Amino acid sequence: MSIELILNAVNINLVALSDQLQNLVGQVFVVFIIAVAAAEAAVGLGIIIAFYRNKETVNIDEMSLMRW
Amino acid sequence: MLDAYIPIFLFILVALGFAIFTLIVAGLVHPSRYSKVKLEPYECGIEPDTDARDRYSVRYYLVAMLFVIFDVETVFMFPWAVIMDELALFGLIEMLVFLFILVVGYVYAWRKGALEWT
Amino acid sequence: MDAFVFYLLATLILGLGIMVITARNAVHSVLFLVLNFLLVAILYVTLSAQFVAVIQVLVYAGGIVVLYLFVVMLVSLKKAPELRSDSRRVGRTGLLLAGVVLAELIAIVWFTSASSGAPPAQAAADFPPRLASDAMLNTERLGWVLYTEYLIPFEVASMLLLVAMIGAIVLAKKNL
Amino acid sequence: MLDTFVIPLLQIAVLVNAVLVAVTFLVLMERKVMGWAQARLGPMRVGPYGILQAIVDPIKLILKEDITPAKADKWVFTLAPIMSLVPALVVFSVIPFGPDPLYYVADINVGLLFIISVTSIGVYGIILGGWSSNSKYPLLASLRASAQLISYEIAVVMTLVSVVLTAGTLNMIGIVEAQREAGLWFAFIQPVACVLVFIGGLAETNRLPFDLPEAETELTGGFHTEYSGMRWALFFLAEYANIIVISAIVALMFFGGWMRPFPNVEALSFLDLVPPWVWYCGKIFFFLYIFVWIRATFPRYRYDQLMALGWKVFIPIAIGNLVLTGIAKVVL
């Protein structure tokens, strides 16, 4: 979720600048960022679920193995 | 500031205000005679012995995930649909390629059984 | 008026952001995230980016956060993880790095005066007549830029979504 | 000041009141129609033909005891009904009841997308309602309800894209005007889309035959099992307001909104004597009646059939319809 917050901060900047410069590229970029965020959320949460199923925890300190 | 949106904000405020106002009014007039049994969670009269928020099927996650992906795809279609007059054939081919890639994923999900619910 | 609205929104957004990362209960945290995103959408409206604002609500608040909510409920954290000091944590280095980034940002702001003469996008220059005349047609103009100049990224994005879908199904499906 | 705040506020007040009154009478109509469909009388006691039932019900709900279960999450428990009612009402801000500014609150260029995104917020009310109760059955019901909602939303939104393609705009007024230019209601140009959106609407409002989340004859109640009193009433209001929203959208996008039938046929111009908003409300009422009629007629789906219908039938049809519309648009 923190990643989403960070991406949103970037998006606000892009939209603000696109308004300031009267240039729509910033907004197009935001649409792409949202698409990437969706993909990232789907895969990231998939990993968390796979991990939870194997380890019964989502504590990040215990995610020391790259495989199981 | 887009002026057309001011009434919408007003509408949101009015709707919120209405919901909270009715809750407050109802809170003032309704009776409150509580007992321990009345406050128990509904479980056919049996005393609950485990927490309700247990883990549940991963299918709900899969549905939500597919929803998010498809949602983003449809979002890409809206700006395309409104300027189809200008894009003409070129736009159609673009969108057919896009839809083809989407359908590949859809068929994959179907074949893998992500759409099954049994 | 505009400035007041902006500062009000900015304060609320920041406050909610802090609430998101400090909330003890994961579901409450997700809730603050939704409110945060809705306020960001209002901020986009004040910046006359209607389409992006609506997308923000539709995809972020209505889609991605629902996914988060499902997962937070799925892994059902019985109790919030306690605060702990871990030897492997590198707080000081992290702070240092954050400071460096901040300094960099300040430097960027400092040394680049707001040059408003940035060149407009190639495609934006030759809008078809219907779109060029009316700045209110935000979606249409955005679509034009997206589907002419940014055609390749658009198709790549669809590939990315395909890969994400396959990846997530493979990850989640092991013993469906 | 007058134009930006006072007039919209008056419109909003009228609209919200109209919706609330419509909801209470919709409930009465539902009970009456169900009664006649099943060869019984329905509400009879309060007032002539039970008409005053619509006034008595809300009063009863306000006076009811409002229970918060002991283990519930108190704040979220109160927030959930609010989060489900507010989007259901706010959607009405962009629905035009007539061609001139008096009849709509806001005219925005992304009207249709606004409606879709605001309704998608409503899912939080359901999830949070079930979660905050901290009781097993509501939680399960809320998960089912939200999974159902988001499944059908995909198909409905994709279908709406093909309507936008036909109309060439996202503006709600523009969509009606496009139907005037075409000389035909979109129901005749896009019959598949029309049926799909309406059935999807049934599923999104958790109505029969898709009312699995709260199948009252088989389960207890659904995600609002633990709710009572006014908080329950807010959920109830939201549900019926959503039914009105769906009817309004279908009437607007496929049946010409406020326009009279055959808007381009001069011979029928005497129909213009009826004001536009009456036409529109009449059409909305017609779809509300169909909602009730379907409830009285159809048996309930099974949950896996329901999800299969959404994902395996509706989505392919929606994509096919979109492709065909696109090709037709280029060829013609």
Is the bond into C128 cis (omega within 30 degrees of 0)? no
Phi, then psi, of B41 in degrees rounded to 5: -65, 150
- Checking if the pLDDT of D61 tops 80, the result is yes
Q: For residue range D259-274, list pLDDT tens digits in order.
A: 877 777 777 777 777 8
Contact D231 B23 (CB under 8 A): yes
Chains contacting chain D through 3 or more C-beta pairs under 8 A: B, C
pLDDT band of residue D1 (cuts 50, 70, 90) is low
User: Total domain count for chain A?
Assistant: 1
Cα–Cα distance, D78 to D132 (Å, whole number): 9
Cα–Cα distance, D137 to B41 (Å, whole number): 10
Across the range C46-68, mean pLDDT stands at 87
**What is the domain range of residue A61?**
2-67
Residue that has been written with the tokens 């792409």 in this structure: A32
* Cβ proximity of C31 and D76 under 8 Å: yes
Q: For residue range D10-42, list pLDDT tens digits in order.
A: 888 888 898 988 998 888 888 888 888 888 887
Contact D79 C50 (CB under 8 A): no
* Cβ proximity of D239 and D205 under 8 Å: yes
Contact C54 D79 (CB under 8 A): no
Contacts of B94 in chain C (CB under 8 A): 147, 151, 154-155
Q: Work out how many CB contacts closer than 8 A connect B with D.
A: 209
> Distance, in angstroms, between C55 CA and closest chain D CA?
8
B-interface mutation test, from C165, C171, C175, most B Cβ less than 10 A away:
C165
A38-67 burial, b for 16+ CB within 10 Å, e for fewer? bbbbbbbbbebbbbbeeeeebeeeeeeeee
pLDDT over 70 percentage in chain D: 96
Q: For residue range D188-203, list pLDDT tens digits in order.
A: 888 899 999 999 988 8
Cα–Cα distance, C153 to B21 (Å, whole number): 49
pLDDT band of residue D316 (cuts 50, 70, 90) is very high
Asked if B37 has any chain A CB less than 8 Å from its own CB, the reply is no
Q: For residue range D133-160, list pLDDT tens digits in order.
A: 877 778 888 888 888 888 888 899 999 9
Contact D147 B60 (CB under 8 A): yes
Across the range C18-39, mean pLDDT stands at 87
Query: Which top CATH class is C1-78?
Result: mainly alpha
* Cβ proximity of D284 and D26 under 8 Å: no
Q: Which positions in chain C have a beta carbon within 8 angstroms of at least one beta carbon in chain D?
A: 25, 27-28, 31, 34, 38, 50-51, 54-55, 57-58, 61-63, 66, 69-70, 73, 136-139
Q: For residue range B51-108, list pLDDT tens digits in order.
A: 666 666 677 888 888 889 898 888 888 888 888 877 778 888 888 888 898 888 889 8
Contacts of C70 in chain B (CB under 8 A): 60-61, 64
DSSP string, chain A: -HHHHHHHHHHHHHHHHHHHHT-THHHHHHHHHHHHHHHHHHHHHHHHHHHHHHHS---GGG---S--
CA nearest D194: which of D145, D144, D247, D151? D247
Contact A39 B71 (CB under 8 A): no
Cα–Cα distance, B94 to B86 (Å, whole number): 13
Nearest CA in chain C to B71: C59
Cα–Cα distance, D155 to B1 (Å, whole number): 34
Asked if A28 has any chain B CB less than 8 Å from its own CB, the reply is no
Across the range D248-253, mean pLDDT stands at 90
Nearest to C145 among A28, A38, A42 (CB): A28
Contact D68 B39 (CB under 8 A): yes
Phi-psi region of A63 (alpha: psi -120 to 50; beta: other; left: phi over 0): beta
Cα–Cα distance, D94 to D170 (Å, whole number): 11
Contact A11 C153 (CB under 8 A): no
Give the pTM: 0.87
Q: List chain B domain ranges.
A: 2-111
- Checking if the pLDDT of C80 tops 60, the result is no
Nearest CA in chain D to C32: D76
Q: For residue range C128-144, list pLDDT tens digits in order.
A: 666 665 656 777 888 88
Q: Do chains A and D touch (3 or more CB pairs under 8 A)?
A: no
Contact B75 C128 (CB under 8 A): no
Cα–Cα distance, B115 to D311 (Å, whole number): 7
Q: For residue range D88-144, list pLDDT tens digits in order.
A: 999 998 888 888 888 888 888 888 889 999 998 988 988 888 888 877 778 888 888
Q: List chain C domain ranges.
A: 1-78
Fold that domain B2-111 belongs to in CATH: Methane Monooxygenase Hydroxylase; Chain G, domain 1 (1.20.58)
- Checking if the pLDDT of C116 tops 50, the result is no
Give the angle D144-D146-D151 at the CA atoms, nearest 5°.
95
* Cβ proximity of B22 and C42 under 8 Å: no
Cα–Cα distance, B97 to B85 (Å, whole number): 19
pLDDT of B47 reads 60
- Checking if the pLDDT of D50 tops 60, the result is yes
Which segments of chain A have a pLDDT < 70? 1, 55-68
Contact B4 D81 (CB under 8 A): no
B-interface mutation test, from C37, C70, C154, most B Cβ less than 10 A away:
C70
Nearest CA in chain C to B105: C162
pLDDT of A68 reads 46
Contact D124 C66 (CB under 8 A): yes
- Checking if the pLDDT of C167 tops 70, the result is yes
pLDDT of D72 reads 78
Contacts of B85 in chain D (CB under 8 A): 168
Contact D230 B51 (CB under 8 A): no
Q: For residue range B79-94, list pLDDT tens digits in order.
A: 888 888 777 788 888 8
